[in-house]
Amino acid sequence: MIEASKITYEGDGPIVNEFCITICTVNGSGSATANNILYRTLFHLGIPTSGKNVFPSNIKGLPTWFVIRASEKGHTGRQLHDDIVVAMNQVTFEKDMQYLAKGGVVFYANNLSLPETPRDDLIYYPMPIKNLIKGTDVPRKLQAFMENMLFVGIVGQVLGIPLEALYSTIYSHFSSKPTVAESNFSMVKTGFDYAAEHLEKKDRFFVKKLPPLTDYILTDGNNAGGLGSLFGGVEFCSWYPITPATSLVEAMIDQVDQLRLDPVTSKKTCVILQVEDELAAMGAAIGAGWGGLRSMTATSGPGISLMTENLGLAYFTETPVVVWDVQRVGPSTGLPTRTAQGDLSMLYYLGHGDTSHIILIPGTPTECFEFGWRSLDLAERFQTPIFVLTDLDLGMNQWVTKKFVYPNKPIDRGRIIWEKELDQFKDWGRYKDIEGDGIPYRTVMGNQNPKAAYFTRGTGHDEYGGYSEDPENWSRMLMRIEKKLNSAVPLLPDPIFRRSKSEDVEIGIIGMGSTDDALRETQDKLAEMGIAVDYMRVRALPTNPAVREFIASHTRNYVLELNRDGQLCEILSLEISEYSQKLISISDIGGMPMTAEWAVESIINQERKEGKRGN
Partner 1 sequence: METEPKTVELNLCGLALGDYKGNPSTLCPGCGHNAISAQVQNAVWELGLPPERFVKISVIGCSSKSPNYFLNRSFGFNGLHGRMPTLATGACFADSSIHILGLSGDGDTASIGMGHFKHVIRRNVPMTYIIENNGCYALTKGQFSATSDQGLVLKHQGVNMLPPLDLCMEALISGATFVARAYSGDAKQLKELIKAAISQHGIAVIDVISPCVTFNNKDDALQSYTWGRDNEAPLHDFKYFSRKEDIDLADFEPGTYREIRIQDGSYIVLHKIGKDYDPTDRSAALDLLTESYKNKYFATGLIYFSEATATIQELYDLPEEPLNRISSDRLRPTEAMLAEINRSLY
Question: Interaction with partner 1 in 251-280: which residues (CB under 8 A)?
Answer: 258-260, 262-265, 267-269, 271, 273, 275-277, 279-280
Query: Of the listed pieces 57-65, 92-100, 333-341, 441-449, which binds partner 1 according to CB under 8 A?
Result: 441-449
Q: Which is nearer to partner 1, 149 or 282 (CB)?
A: 282
The residue among 248 and 313 lying less far from partner 1, judged by its C-beta, is: 313
Indicate whether 16 belongs to the interface with partner 1 (CB under 8 A): no
Least distance to partner 1, CB of residue 443, Å: 8
Which lies closer to partner 1 via its Cβ, residue 121 or residue 277?
Answer: 277
**At 135, is the secondary structure helix, strand, or coil?**
coil
Show contacts with partner 1 in window 137-176 (CB under 8 A): none
Binds partner 1 by CB under 8 A, chosen from 222, 447, 468, 544:
447
Cβ atoms of residues 147 and 184 within 8 Å: no
Min. distance of Cβ 594 from partner 1 in angstroms? 25
| Dist CA 555 CA 21 (whole Å) | 38
> Residue 328 Cβ, how far from partner 1 at the closest point, in Å?
24
Q: How far is residue 106 from each of residues 156, 161, 315, 322, measured CA to CA in Å?
A: 14, 17, 54, 46
Helix axes 140-159, 31-44, angle to 10 degrees: 30
How is the beta sheet containing 63-71 ordered, strand by strand?
49-54, 63-71, 18-26, 82-87, 100-109, 123-127
Secondary structure letter of residue 404 according to DSSP: P
Side-chain-side CA neighbours of 350 within 13 Å: the count stands at: 28
Q: Which is nearer to partner 1, 135 or 446 (CB)?
A: 446
**Residue 10: partners with Cβ closer than 8 Å, 6 or more residues away:** none
* Closest CB 30 distance from partner 1, rounded Å: 23
Interface with partner 1, residue 200, by CB under 8 A: no
Beginning with the edge strand found earlier in the chain, give each strand of the sheet holding 556-561 in spatial order: 496-498, 533-538, 507-512, 556-561, 583-587
Should residue 286 be labelled a site residue for partner 1 when binding is judged by CB under 8 A? yes
- CB nearer partner 1, residue 268 or residue 608: 268
Tell me which of 26, 34, 313, 509 binds partner 1, using CB under 8 A: 313
Binds partner 1 by CB under 8 A, chosen from 444, 489, 505, 604: 444
Residues 113-142 that bind partner 1 (CB under 8 A): none
Closer Cβ to partner 1, 15 or 275, answer by number: 275
Coil, helix or strand at residue 200: coil
Among 49, 157, 295, 468, which residue sits at the site for partner 1 (rule: CB under 8 A)? Answer: 295
Which CB atom, from 91 or from 453, has the smaller least distance to partner 1? 453
What's the length of the chain? 615
Neighbours of 610 (CB within 10 A): 12
Please identify which residue in 186, 243, 456, 487 interacts with partner 1, judged by CB under 8 A.
Answer: 456
| Residue 403 in the binding site for partner 1 (CB under 8 A) | yes
In terms of CB distance, is 65 or 290 closer to partner 1?
A: 290
Is 211 an interacting residue with respect to partner 1 (CB under 8 A)? no
Q: CB under 8 A: which stretch of 127-135, 323-331, 456-464, 585-593 binds partner 1? A: 456-464
Q: How far is the CB of 575 from partner 1 (least distance, A)?
A: 30
Residues 82-111 that bind partner 1 (CB under 8 A): none
Nearest distance in Å: CB 473, partner 1: 17
- Out of 171, 418, 464, 474, the only residue in the binding site for partner 1 (CB under 8 A) is 418
Per CB under 8 A, contacts with partner 1 among 466-495 are 467
Instruction: Choose the binding region for partner 1 from 1-9, 12-20, 291-299, 534-542 (rule: CB under 8 A).
Output: 291-299
Q: What is the DSSP string of 334-403?
A: -BTTS-----HHHHHT-SSSS---EEE---SHHHHHHHHHHHHHHHHHHTSEEEEEEEHHHHHSBEEEEP
Instruction: Among 15, 62, 123, 217, indicate the residue that binds partner 1 (CB under 8 A).
Output: 217
Instruction: Report which of 386, 411, 379, 385 is spatially closest to residue 233, judged by C-alpha positions.
Output: 411
**How near is the Cβ of 121 to partner 1 at its closest, in Å?**
39
Give the nearest distance from C-beta 250 to partner 1 in angstroms.
16
Annotate 62-115 with three-state secondary structure: CEEEEEEEEECCCCCCECCCEEEEEECCHHHHHHHHHCEEEEEEEEEECCCCCC
Q: Give the residue, chosen from 459, 486, 502, 555, that forms a contact with partner 1 under the rule CB under 8 A.
A: 459
- Going from the C-alpha of 215 to that of each of 11, 179, 180, 210, 218, the distances in angstroms are 33, 31, 30, 14, 11
Pinpoint the alpha helices (H) of 163-266: 163-173, 178-198, 221-231, 246-259
Which string of x and - marks every residue 43-82 that binds partner 1 (by CB under 8 A)?
-x--------------------------------------
Q: Report, in Å, the least distance between residue 58 CB and partner 1.
A: 28
**Min CB(267)–partner 1 separation in Å:** 4
Choose which of 30, 291, 302, 542 interacts with partner 1 (CB under 8 A). Answer: 291
Q: Tell me which of 235, 517, 534, 597 binds partner 1, using CB under 8 A.
A: 235
Distance CA 605, CA 603 (A): 5
- For 144, the enclosing helix (H) or strand (E) is helix 140-159
163: Cβ–Cβ under 8 A, 6 or more apart, which residues? 156, 188, 189, 192
Q: From CA 322, how far away is CA 286, in angstroms rounded?
A: 9
**Residues 240/242/245/246 CA torsion (nearest 10 deg):** 70
Q: Which stretch binds partner 1 (CB under 8 A): 17-25, 110-118, 151-159, 446-454?
A: 446-454
Distances (CA, A) of 402 to 213, 214, 364, 428, 579: 9, 9, 9, 45, 35
Near partner 1 by CB under 8 A: residue from 450, 490, 530, 614: 450
Q: How far is the CB of 226 from partner 1 (least distance, A)?
A: 11
Query: Footprint of partner 1 on residues 328-347 (CB under 8 A)?
Result: none
Binding residues for partner 1, rule CB under 8 A, total: 73
